[in-house]
Copies of this chain bind each other. A is one copy, B any other.
Amino acid sequence: MTPRPSVEPVPAASVAAFDHECDVLVVGFGCAGAAAAYEAATAGADVLVLERAGGPGGSSAMSGGELYLGGGTAIQRACGFEDDPDNMFAYLTAALGPHADEEKLRLYCEGGVEHFEWFRARGVPFNESFFDAPSWMPPTTDGLMWLGENAWPYTTVARPVPRGHRPAVESWGGRLLMEKLVEAARAAGAACHADTRATNLVVGGDGRVAGVVARRYGEQVTYRARRGVVLTTGGFVDNEEMLADHAPVLLGHGKVSDGLDDGGGIRMATALGAATRRMGEVEIAMTALPAMLVRGMLVNGLGRRFINEDVYPGLFSVAAVRHQPGPYWAIIDEEGYENIPARDLWGVRPVFVAETLAELEESLGVPPGALEDTVAVYNRHAERGEDPYFHKDPKWLRPLKGPFAAADPRLGFGMGDRDSAGKGTGAAGFTLGGLRTTVDGEVLNQSARPIPGLYAAGRASSGIHGEGYVSGTSLGDGTFFGRRAGRAVAKEA
């Protein structure tokens, strides 16, 4: 094991004079950092944000920009959907659980409408229109979409209501979202030092976090934070050693990040004795086309189905990569293929086409007879409009007949996943585990007590996720609990 550059805390007494001072120091200018900086500055604190990249945005700016919000937002109402916090809570408990943080989840659901209005008031535009088809991301500017609420088993525990809120841009919306949030933080008075990477926390003799040591253009710079430090440094998908230690399931897959999610904030805080939670949980996105899967089937390396293909794509991706032997294949027949809307847009190209399933089995290397058995069982039930194994919505059920085609998610679909499209494993993800925090972002130590002066939000912390993930919940909880952390730290003496 090679010793890494030190992330150990630095005693305040060893810092002769701080180069910079502020009330609240936010480390990382992604969505959580922007939200925390906005609220702290609005509450009257002198706020400084450090960002190690050349400018703000972080991984948030590279995301699709979906926000998982509900409970009865203006868009939901305009599109004819009735929602309430309990119904939202029931869905998220099932989809993000089991074992999600119930207190955080409850607050998040109760605050959904207010949080949506906060985005609108910051200038993020949303269209009051609804996209009603399976997709990772609609090829439209519709403001509302399903994020798995309309699929089994979630339909059995909560009334299906769409909660995917999307900024009014075609395709990736993270850039616009971050422009508005950064603008808001700056307008509220927050300053930013870019190209500045925090390396160590500075701790007073009383155990209180008093600032950070940072590197800027190769020089050491010290920052004093009179009220506290908020770590919004992101997760650790870009740190191979941390992945090997905590989330090896992501090793070898693509990374959904800006390339700087190296877990620095998590390590600085754990070096001081901070507790972590769920360091092994991850988001995984497979580059398979949902509109193709619902019309055919998703099979594993044994040629067997394992999930209802109309579930939220993040959930079938995790089900595949975490729990099924690969490789994974989308199998479809001619009629289904012809019916995929906008398939040229996504660049859907089957890898293998065959008149019979026996031929296809040979091409894919699945056990002989496997696809024949799988399709025979599927068809037998589909004729009656049933899917007793996985409960795909009857509207997608239809006996499949040759010729057949197989598409390989490993080849990507040009969906804009910068890292894995066209190469790699066809899956990419990021980490969900991180520092253990209270609902106000206070970082807890191993005795479950807040470390004075230290806050965290976003993927540097463990948020509302248990063992599941749905798009929009990371931008969602990052901004929601980032705001709470910003308000709480601003109140410190």
Residues on the B chain within 8 Å of A132, using CB: none
A449–B8 Cα gap in the complex (Å)? 10
A248–B465 Cα gap in the complex (Å)? 13
Closest to A466 in B: B248
Residues on the B chain within 8 Å of A99, using CB: 244, 248, 251
Q: State the main secondary structure of chain A at its contact with B.
A: loop
Residues on the B chain within 8 Å of A445, using CB: 8, 271
Residues on the B chain within 8 Å of A402, using CB: none
Residues on the B chain within 8 Å of A324, using CB: 323
Cβ-defined contact, A6 with B447, below 8 A: yes
Asked if A278 is at the interface of the complex by the 8 Å CB criterion, the answer is yes
Residues on the B chain within 8 Å of A273, using CB: 8-9, 270-273
Which stretch of A47-55, A138-146, A163-171, A369-377 is in the interface? A369-377
Size category of the binding interface on chain A: 35 or more
Most buried by B among A4, A98, A279: A279
Cβ-defined contact, B8 with A446, below 8 A: yes
Knowing A3-B448, A273-B272, the reply to whether A436 touches B388 (Cβ < 8 A) is no
A9–B324 Cα gap in the complex (Å)? 43
Which one of B8, B278, B447 lies within 8 Å of A5 (CB-CB)? B447
Asked if A438 is at the interface of the complex by the 8 Å CB criterion, the answer is yes
Which one of B245, B389, B448, B467 lies within 8 Å of A276 (CB-CB)? B245
Residues on the B chain within 8 Å of A488, using CB: none
Asked if A385 is at the interface of the complex by the 8 Å CB criterion, the answer is no
Closest to A442 in B: B1
Asked if A302 is at the interface of the complex by the 8 Å CB criterion, the answer is yes
Asked if A267 is at the interface of the complex by the 8 Å CB criterion, the answer is yes
Asked if A367 is at the interface of the complex by the 8 Å CB criterion, the answer is yes
Residues on the B chain within 8 Å of A96, using CB: none
Residues on the B chain within 8 Å of A302, using CB: 389
A7–B388 Cα gap in the complex (Å)? 51
- As a 0/1 sequence over residues 265 to 295 of chain A, the CB contacts with chain B under 8 angstroms (1 = contact) are 0011011110111111000000000000000
Which one of B270, B323, B388, B444 lies within 8 Å of A1 (CB-CB)? B444
Knowing A275-B270, A444-B1, the reply to whether A436 touches B245 (Cβ < 8 A) is yes
Residues on the B chain within 8 Å of A3, using CB: 447-449
A447–B7 Cα gap in the complex (Å)? 6
Residues on the B chain within 8 Å of A1, using CB: 438, 444, 448
A4–B446 Cα gap in the complex (Å)? 8
Asked if A424 is at the interface of the complex by the 8 Å CB criterion, the answer is no
Which one of B2, B446, B466 lies within 8 Å of A270 (CB-CB)? B446
Asked if A368 is at the interface of the complex by the 8 Å CB criterion, the answer is yes
Residues on the B chain within 8 Å of A98, using CB: 248
Q: How far is the CB of A102 from chain B (nearest CB, A)?
A: 11
Knowing A370-B389, A388-B367, the reply to whether A447 touches B4 (Cβ < 8 A) is yes
Q: What are some 11 contacts across the A-B interface (CB < 8 A)?
A: A1-B448, A3-B447, A6-B447, A6-B449, A245-B278, A248-B466, A271-B445, A271-B446, A271-B447, A369-B380, A370-B388
List the 5 closest pairs (A to B, CB-CB), nearest first: A367-B388, A280-B280, A271-B446, A323-B323, A99-B248
